[in-house]
Chain A
Amino acid sequence: MIPRLVTGAGYWSPLLWLAFLIPFALIGYLIYSRGNPGYKKDTEQVKPYLSGNIEPSKEKIQVKASDIYWGFIEALKGYYNILQTIHTGDLRDYILWYLGVGTIILFLLVGGA
């Protein structure tokens, strides 16, 4: 016995769902079977049409998350180039920067007072 899930909005049965899908699958197969079977595999005929141009690799046409900020990064290239060389990934360097900048701020505050 296939269990029937009863909810406030009605019920859900996998068998009924299957029966609902079968006619669509049949219609899909009928449309597919009427397609041109004479196409040549592994030729230009199976490739997408791009005004006659060669299809670029997926990597070349992929839009990366960093592409959203491309204009920003390009405009501030001089700043980022320096920042990236400073950005070593070594925690000791960062602590040194922290202490150095902290000392400067402290001197300025004490000096100001």
Chain B
Amino acid sequence: MGKLTNFKRSLWVFHASGGSCNGCDIEIIAALTPRYDAERFGIKLVGSPRHADVLLVTGAIPRDFADKLKRIYEQMPDPKAVIVVGNCGTSGGVFYDSYNLVGPIDEIIPVDIYVPGCPPRPEAIIDAVVKAWLKLEKLEKELEGKKE
């Protein structure tokens, strides 16, 4: 795994739940509660996408939520990364052919990291966040290169 050298700040995450059964959402909370305690590394959930570096999306996306998800993604500042947690967001899961879904999520917004599972374990979610951190570092370097 690469070394974190450039993205020198705590990584803030915005969680958007679109049609999720709450299974993945509970595992995200589990990653933050004392057993795993991701917050000790500065990884925390924030209430607005405008404060976030990472967008965490759960659930198969219903038709009504697609434009909202797109808007949330567009409101995040650059550099940003998107993580999809769970089977539903990754492929549609058991709802893949449902008439009122527009997912999988990568058909709505660009996705960087997938965390498969129904629901995935908190370790897998934390691992995905670390991967997002590396991606953000790469993007930050690119942005700095553009500035120079």
Chain A residues in contact with chain B, CB under 8 A? 36, 38-39, 43-45, 47, 49, 51-54
Contacts and interface: CB of A to CB of B under 8 A. Distances in A.
Contact of B72 (A36, A52, A54): A52
Interface residues of B, number: 16
Which of B48, B69, B71, B76 neighbours the largest number of chain A CB atoms within 10 Å of its CB? B71
A7 B69 CA distance: 60
Contacts of B77: 36, 38-39, 45
Contacts of A49: 48-50, 72, 75
Nearest to B146: A38
Q: Is the interface of B mostly helix, strand, loop or mixed?
A: helix
A3 to B, nearest CB: 47
Q: Is the interface of A mostly helix, strand, loop or mixed?
A: loop
Given A38-B143, A49-B50, A44 B78 contact: no
Interface of B: 16, 48-50, 65, 67-69, 71-72, 74-78, 143
A32 to B, nearest CB: 15
A69 B50 CA distance: 37
B51 to A, nearest CB: 9
A51 to B, nearest CB: 7
Contact of B78 (A38, A47, A51): A38
B74 A43 contact: yes
6 contacts: A36-B77, A38-B77, A39-B77, A45-B75, A49-B48, A53-B68
Q: Which 10 A-B pairs have the closest CB atoms?
A: A52-B68, A44-B74, A49-B48, A52-B72, A44-B75, A52-B71, A36-B77, A38-B78, A44-B71, A45-B75
A38 B69 CA distance: 21
Nearest to B16: A52
B119 to A, nearest CB: 23
Which of B69, B75, B143 neighbours the largest number of chain A CB atoms within 10 Å of its CB? B75
Contact of B75 (A36, A38, A47): A47
